[in-house]
């Protein structure tokens, strides 16, 4: 089964309305070129607001059926495509999530995923804003669509082999990582390179370890820190797609806004698993300690 996938790598432009309109242009272009699955970056319609802490920013959050979901759902239904989007979700009073949305050729939400691993680092103060997703709601479970079972994970989740493995064990057909990651402008170039390479390497490793394609979509552009405590973040782009042996199928430029498209052969996953049978040889009887924080 061959799947035509499109990635929209872009920067935040001025405001929500302008940025979402630009995203819509890319979605329409992707659909016109035959894309079946269109993937957007983390929190794609707004700025990356987690560089500082402000309770006023909770007003940006929206419901699962809010304006971003309504816009993406309408496009999915009109263009008959599958769209993976992202919102700052207001689940209830005082309860907020970083949530990926999936629409399957319909305005009706096919499924959603609430980010499970929440960072708390200088410039990435996400624990202030986001509650981790619940294991049962919906946890590490693929979202069933007409193009396959999508193992959607979000940004910081991409560093954890456990998340990728659980999606694979739940029969995901591919892993999708909407992302907002960058470096401090003042970092040394060698350190920037190490960070970027590690980011790509760990995700390609998940592809190899689970014999699944990986789709990683990152934002680009410089975004200032409104608090003035730092020099802001340069988001490093480099969106990519790799196959089930980690082979690069597509790799974007560092700071290039782009609509990127490629073909993924989902049938290769079965073929690769026959020669690299990790699922067969896993020692599930010996992994009990994986549930511990640390083995003292």
What are the residue numbers of the active site? 42, 115, 155
Q: How far apart are CA 126 and CA 198, in angstroms?
A: 21
SS3 200: helix
Q: Which two tokens stand for residue 248?
A: 């690069």
Per the document, the length of the chain is: 296
Q: Which two tokens stand for residue 138?
A: 């919906």
Inter-axis angle of helices 161-169 and 189-210, nearest 10: 20
Contacts 24+ apart (CB under 8 A), 55-58: 57/129, 58/90, 58/96, 58/129
What does the H/E/C string look like for 234-250? EEECCCEEECCCCCEEE
CA neighbours within 13 Å on the CB side: how many for 45?
Answer: 25
């Amino acid at each position: 089964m061959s799947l035509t996938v499109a990635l929209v790598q872009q920067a935040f432009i001025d405001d929500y309305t302008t940025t979402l309109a630009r995203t819509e242009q890319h979605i329409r272009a992707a659909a016109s070129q035959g894309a079946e699955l269109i993937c957007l970056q983390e929190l794609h319609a707004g700025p990356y607001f987690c560089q500082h802490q402000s309770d006023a920013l909770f007003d940006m959050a929206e419901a699962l059926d809010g304006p971003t979901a309504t816009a993406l759902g309408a496009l999915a239904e009109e263009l008959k495509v599958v769209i993976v989007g992202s919102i700052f979700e207001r689940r209830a009073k005082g309860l907020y999530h970083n949530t990926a949305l999936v629409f399957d050729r319909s305005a009706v939400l096919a499924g959603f995923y609430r980010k499970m691993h929440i960072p708390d680092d200088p410039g990435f103060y996400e624990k202030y804003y986001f509650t981790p997703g619940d294991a049962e709601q919906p946890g590490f479970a693929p979202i069933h669509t007409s193009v396959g079972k999508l193992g959607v994970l979000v940004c910081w989740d991409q560093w954890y082999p456990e998340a990728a493995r659980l999606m694979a064990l739940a029969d995901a057909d591919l892993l999708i990582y909407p992302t907002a990651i960058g470096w401090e402008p003042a970092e040394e170039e060698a350190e920037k390179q190490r960070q970027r390479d590690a980011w790509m390497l760990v995700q390609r490793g998940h592809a190899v370890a689970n014999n699944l394609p990986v789709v990683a979509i990152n934002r680009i552009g410089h975004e200032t820190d409104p608090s003035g405590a730092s020099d802001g973040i340069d988001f490093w782009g480099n969106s990519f797609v790799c196959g089930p042996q980690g082979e690069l199928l597509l790799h974007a430029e560092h700071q290039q806004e782009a609509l990127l498209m490629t073909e993924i052969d989902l049938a290769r996953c079965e073929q690769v698993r026959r020669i690299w049978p990790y699922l067969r040889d896993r020692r599930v009887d010996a992994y009990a300690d994986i549930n511990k924080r640390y083995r003292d």
